[in-house]
Each structure stands twice: as structure tokens, then as C-alpha cells.
A and B are shown apart, each in its own frame.
Chain A
Amino acid sequence: MNYPVVVDVSLRPGIADPEGATIERALPALGFTGVSAVRAGKSFRLVIDAPDEATARDRARALADRVLSNPVIEVATVRVGES
């Protein structure tokens, strides 16, 4: 069975995010006011072949923590079953 997976990776709270901060500073000049707490991140979409959804989730979690994110500075969230 193929399970679509989305992995979102963002910097841990408290870790400086110069990209997000730069975007946030630029927003008022572009006419977008009242926007705060901008954080930049990455999103990965993949398909995992597994016997059931729980197994797909476990594999996705391991992949997200071991490869797709660096747990020293980043956190990853895993969603299974969305495309």
C-alpha cells in the first residue's frame, strides 16, 4: 500500500531564523501589515510503500529525524495520508 507523506521541517523555537526575520522585516514595505512570527522552513512530499498506515508513519518519522531534519536545530512534523 502506498501512503502519501508530508514532512515539514522548521527551525526549533529559539534558534535564530535570519530568513524568516528578513521576510518579516520586508513585509510592511510590500503592503502586508500586521504579520508577525514569520518562520521559514522546508516541506517534503513523498510516498511510502508499507503494509499499514502505522508502519508508514514510523518509517516517515525515522526518515524525518535521521535525514530530512537536523534535530540539533530543527523540528520535523510528519503527516501521513495527505497528498
Chain B
Amino acid sequence: MTRVAIVLFPGSNCEYDAALAMREFGVDSTFVFHTATDLDDADAVILPGGFAHGDYLRPGALARFSPVMASVARFAAAGGPVLGICNGFQVLTEAGLLPGALQKNRGLTFLSEPTTVVVASTRSVLTRAATPGQELVIPINHFSGAYTCDDATYRELVENDQIVLRYRDNPNGSRDDVAGISNVAGNVVGLMPHPERALSTLLGSADGRVLLEGFVESLARV
């Protein structure tokens, strides 16, 4: 039975969205508390959106020191699929599992709106079922979503095909319109938009399906 570990930090608030999304694609999930020291033999890990530890200090800064993050790092290093959505992306950058950082939005406002993202790479566990250049409408919901990195890191991202998604109309000041990136191997992905909230046209968009379907397919290969 394929199972996804959804990590719960104090202040996570998208864990049920993520669990429902996994169920939509026939995958069970289990909530793993931040104090856990193992991932319960899961086949993949999702760090959901929210405000881990109240986002105090910086988003993800305190969550990074949670006991469970050592297990997440080991799982990622072994090639296991890890997906960080929104706050989960911020946690992954603070933990050093993805390069760069997420800064306050350029306009200093909390953004909650549909955005159009363009698939930049299909090498990652999240975008493997999508088509390069494909445009997807996915909502964003964040205050600190401006992707930032130094020039050397940026060159590496481009050379290693690590930029996974770009905004068509940059809403937050992200460098080079970056909406999501992966690690070099492509098994760890972080993105600010919420694909788990774009699964039904009734709720605005079903464009998140191609991303999460691909993610679920990647579990079968583990």
C-alpha cells in the first residue's frame, strides 16, 4: 500500500487539503508530527502549507530544527519524493534541502489569488506528467513568496534544470519568475502555489491534477 507522510508542524493548516488530494489519486496518507523521529515507512513526504511555529523569526526557521526534519533529510538523500507546498517550500529552503530563500512579497501584501504558472522543467517528481511550456492556473496564498538566491546559485539552478515552474505574470517579485524549484536529482520539489487546491473546476481550477498525478506516479517507482 502506497502511503504519503504529511508532516504536521504546530501551525500547519493545509494538511487535510494534501491528504484529500492524495486520496483523490488513490493514495493513503498519514500525519507525522514534528516531534517524530521516523517517517513511519512512508513512500513519500509532503510538507504542507500553513504557518509552522507561527512563522516566528522567519517562515520555516524554527520548523527546520524539528526532530522530524532529520528523517526528512535522510529520506530526501536516499532519493525519496519530497514535496514542500508554500510553507513547506519555505521549510525546505531553511533546512538547506533546496537552495535559496523566500523573502517577503515585493508589494508587502499577503497574496491570495489564482496565478498562471508555466511548466519550466518536467524532470522533477512534481512535473513529470506535465508538458514543457504548459500553462496551469494554480492559486497562491502567501506573504513570503519572493524567491531569492545569489547569482552563483541561480546559474546552478539554470544549468541543472532545477527551475520547475515559473509565474507567467510575476505576482511577488520572485527572481526570474520562479514559482517552484527542485534539487539536482529532481526528487525534492518546493513551490509556493497550491496544486492541492486546484483539483476541481467547481472550485476554480483542476490544473493541479497533472502535477499531483505525476507526483503519485513517482511513488510507484520508489
Interface residues of A (CB under 8 A from B): 15-16, 18-19, 22, 67-68, 70, 72-73
20 A–B pairs (Cβ distance < 8 Å), ordered by A: A15-B103, A16-B103, A16-B148, A16-B173, A18-B104, A18-B105, A18-B106, A18-B173, A67-B57, A67-B65, A70-B58, A70-B61, A70-B101, A72-B93, A72-B99, A72-B100, A72-B148, A72-B150, A73-B101, A73-B103
Instruction: Give the bracket for the number of chain B residues in contact with chain A.
Output: 20 to 34
Interface residues of B (CB under 8 A from A): 57-58, 61, 65, 93-94, 99-101, 103-108, 146, 148-150, 173
The reply to whether A15 and B148 contact each other, CB–CB distance below 8 Å, is yes
Report how far A2 CA is from B100 CA in the complex, Å: 36
Interchain CB contact (< 8 A) of A68 among B57, B93, B149, B150: B57
Report how far A16 CA is from B61 CA in the complex, Å: 20
**Which 4 A-B pairs give the minimum distances between C-beta atoms?**
A72-B101, A73-B101, A18-B108, A18-B106
**Min distance, Cβ A40 to any Cβ of chain B, angstroms:** 10
Q: Interface residues of B: mostly helix, strand, loop or mixed?
A: loop
- CB neighbours of A70 from chain B (8 A): 58, 61, 94, 101
**Min distance, Cβ A21 to any Cβ of chain B, angstroms:** 9
The reply to whether B57 and A16 contact each other, CB–CB distance below 8 Å, is no
**Min distance, Cβ A44 to any Cβ of chain B, angstroms:** 9
